[in-house]
A and B are shown apart, each in its own frame.
Chain A
Amino acid sequence: MFGSTGRKVGGKVFAILVKGKLLVKLRKDASTPWLNPARVTLRPRPRSAKSRRSEMPTPIDRDEVQRLLDNGAQLVEVLPEAEYEDEHLPGAISIPLKTLDTETAQRLERERAVIVYCYDYQ
């Protein structure tokens, strides 16, 4: 297959990978000198927790917040406006979660990092 690599997984089972992802598992049948296509199984490799995390926004701590701010990140408080008025991190703007849409998101510059926060682990 294009761009694929074959790998013996164990015993009579062979795996064919494309870009590191399992595409096909084939079992060598005793009745044929090579791989029996009837035993072809398509089993995409389950996403690992690490690859799942890389698709999610990155959680950061206080030190990382300061580092990102030093590098020009935008800071957004997503609590209701009254709570923002009471107290907020220096330099933060208010975009309450309920109002977060295409229009309000335009207040943010897409080429700069964005840090969102609320009160605590809510």
Chain B
Amino acid sequence: MSPRAAARLESLGLKDVYDYVAGKADWGSFGLPIEGRRDSATRVAAHTRTDVPACGLGDRLSEACERVRDAGWDTCFVVDKRRVVLGRLGRSALARDGDTSVEEAMTPGPSTVRPSFGLDEAVQRMQAQNLTSLPVTRSDGVLVGVLRREDAEQALTRSGGH
């Protein structure tokens, strides 16, 4: 639609016309602000905890456990140098004994949601799948943080949407 609109504007005599081809889906998926009835407050981004710990593939699991414990979390994400998510260490992985690598212990390729994902949809998903949290990544795979179910449900209750 936007290419046609851009072409039409040029036919109407406007000279300096640009087409943001990827559109508002791209904008929102990168966690950038959105206005309207379904504004940023109704989306996952506004309620995402960004202080979730992260570690690298080459780290030892014992190091990751210590980092998670010090941060007061029960999960950790495995990321590369650009913070692109490679895997997740959940409670069972963090409870493993022995000197093993993060790469061996992690669950690779966890499902994630975008910052623009609707808060109400996120709560429905967590309730349906009995999840306590959802990882949030941008469209380029970079970790934004974690949406905790309790935070999401409280936010929905406050907004009257639950």
Contact = CB atoms under 8 A, between A and B. Distances in A.
A18 interface: no
B73 interface: no
A68 B1 contact: no
Contacts of B5: 76, 78, 95, 97, 100, 116, 118
Given A86-B37, A90-B35, A114 B20 contact: no
A87 B8 CA distance: 23
Q: Which of B7, B8, B19, B26 has the most CB of A within 10 A?
A: B19
By secondary structure, the B interface counts as: mixed
Nearest to B10: A57
Contact of B6 (A77, A89, A116): A116
B35 A110 contact: no
Contact of B1 (A56, A79, A84, A105): A79
A70 interface: no
Contacts of B15: 110
Interface in B33-57: 33-39
A114 B38 contact: no
Given A73-B18, A84-B36, A85-B37, A100 B8 contact: yes
Interface residues of B, number: 36
A114 B25 CA distance: 19
A93 B37 CA distance: 15
A2 interface: no
Contacts of B8: 97, 100
B10 A87 contact: no
Contacts of A114: 9, 14, 16-18
B19 A88 contact: no
Contacts of B12: 100-102, 105
Contacts of B14: 105, 108, 110, 114
B25 A115 contact: no
Which A-B residue pairs are the 8 nearest by beta carbons?
A57-B6, A117-B20, A78-B5, A118-B1, A120-B25, A87-B36, A113-B16, A120-B23
Given A62-B22, A120-B22, 5 more contacts: A59-B19, A89-B35, A90-B33, A108-B9, A117-B21
22 contacts: A57-B7, A57-B9, A57-B19, A58-B17, A59-B19, A60-B21, A61-B22, A62-B27, A62-B32, A65-B20, A78-B5, A87-B37, A89-B27, A97-B1, A105-B13, A114-B16, A114-B17, A114-B18, A117-B2, A118-B5, A119-B25, A120-B23
